Amino acid sequence: MKKKWIVIMAVLMSLMLVVAPVSAAPDLPKEHQFYEEITYLMDNGIVTGYSNGTIQPDQAVTRAEAAIMIGRLKGFDGAKQATPFSDVPKDHTASGFIAEAAEAGLLSGYPDGTYRPDVPIVRGDVAMIVQRVFGLSITINSGFRDMPEGMKSFKAVGTLIAANITIGYPNNSFHPLENITRSQFSAFLARGMEPEFRNKATIGDSYLRDKTKVYVMEGAGEAVTYRYRKYSIRDGAPPEWVWVMERSANAAPAAIVEAETYSGYFTGPPYKDLFFDLPYRQKVGTGFLYAVYFDPFREVGRTITGFNQTVETKYKTFTDATEVTDEEGNKYYYAHGHGQIKQVNADGTVLSQLVDIR
């Protein structure tokens, strides 16, 4: 009987070890800004802690550690091997991941043939790596004050903005030459993998839709469904996460991009410049230009004509809508977290409205 009891206790103890949370680290409190993202990557074996049990979320990531993390994400073998870099010998801990990532075109070294594995990696370089890892092709001008167009990571940062993977800092900067921390790197990777985390890459009072929801609009008696999913925006192109608009069984789906910067809210097709729908941090009377969707050579003047408007839709009545009126008298209504909820022509005809979220 005593032996049976010992066996039972051993089994219970082993089960407890199995179900114990992978992310249990003394220096990663649940209140940490990126707790969920780090936990997600730890649960997926992409981020691991140190020998003392810590995760050190605010420590800078070295170039070797960056290669290891993206290598695990991509499922690389990681076995030690020769590398094309003079300062990464075969016996280096990260040699396998560095070699495989370099061969896959995900990272590169310096002109002198080195990789500098122990040097902290900067945010601009990480943006370029994340762009390659997730195959991001849709871009937007971030408008960051510290990201001039001549900077090598300019386009890459724009793709992260368009994909809702980052929003930068509240002072409208990205800090491209600043060392990235383990938690920040984890946030970028987790958002690239799981759309739910992209909902956190927003500014205050964002108009971006919830990427875990399905939105149904009604226009001209036809239901139009918007669903955030992977979709190939061009024939033969790798699929990317975008909003996919579906009208009916007989109509081809269409990809729609929704992004925001600190200057405003943008939407549009992925193969051209996004349209400036709504300027942020402005006041009633602010005017701006909007490029007509079906006529890219024509721009229409629009003006913010009201905030906190009460707007009835078939889904519900909103009391926080922002009203925009164009030069022809047509009105467009936007709500925080919902994007455009209603469009009314100058003659009062409802052209489209939100009817359901599920």
**How confident is the model over 124-145, as a mean pLDDT?**
96
At 24, the pLDDT band (50, 70, 90 cuts) reads low
**According to the model, what pLDDT value does residue 298 have?**
76
Token code pair at residue 304: 């913010």
- In DSSP notation, 263-301 reads TEEEEE-TTSPPEEEEESS--TT-EEEEEETTEEEEEEE
**According to the model, what pLDDT value does residue 15 have?**
35
Find how far residue 143's CA is from the centre of its chain.
17
| Percentage above 70 pLDDT, the chain | 91
**According to the model, what pLDDT value does residue 16 have?**
35
pLDDT digit string, tens, across residues 65-117: 999 999 999 999 999 999 999 999 999 999 999 999 999 999 999 999 999 99
Token code pair at residue 152: 């090598």
At 297, the pLDDT band (50, 70, 90 cuts) reads low
**According to the model, what pLDDT value does residue 3 have?**
46
**According to the model, what pLDDT value does residue 245 have?**
95
**According to the model, what pLDDT value does residue 49 have?**
87
Across the chain, what does the average pLDDT equal?
91
**According to the model, what pLDDT value does residue 352 have?**
97
Would you state the torsion angle of the CA atoms of residues 95, 100, 105, 110, taken in this order, to the nearest 10 degrees? 10
**According to the model, what pLDDT value does residue 10 have?**
43
**How confident is the model over 142-148, as a mean pLDDT?**
96
This prediction has a pTM of: 0.89
Token code pair at residue 158: 């724009």
CB 101 within 8 A of CB 120: no
Place of tokens 């800004």: 33
pLDDT digit string, tens, across residues 157-204: 999 999 999 999 999 999 999 999 999 999 999 999 999 999 999 999
**According to the model, what pLDDT value does residue 250 have?**
75
At 6, the pLDDT band (50, 70, 90 cuts) reads very low
**According to the model, what pLDDT value does residue 282 have?**
94
Residue 316 pLDDT > 60: yes
Q: State phi, psi for 73 to the nearest 5 degrees.
A: -60, -40
Domain parsing of the chain, residue ranges: 2-198, 214-357
Helix (H/G/I), strand (E/B), else coil: 196: helix
pLDDT digit string, tens, across residues 200-258: 999 999 999 999 999 999 988 899 999 999 999 888 888 999 999 998 767 889 999 99
CB 349 within 8 A of CB 341: no
Instruction: Fill in the amino acid letter for 353.
Output: Q
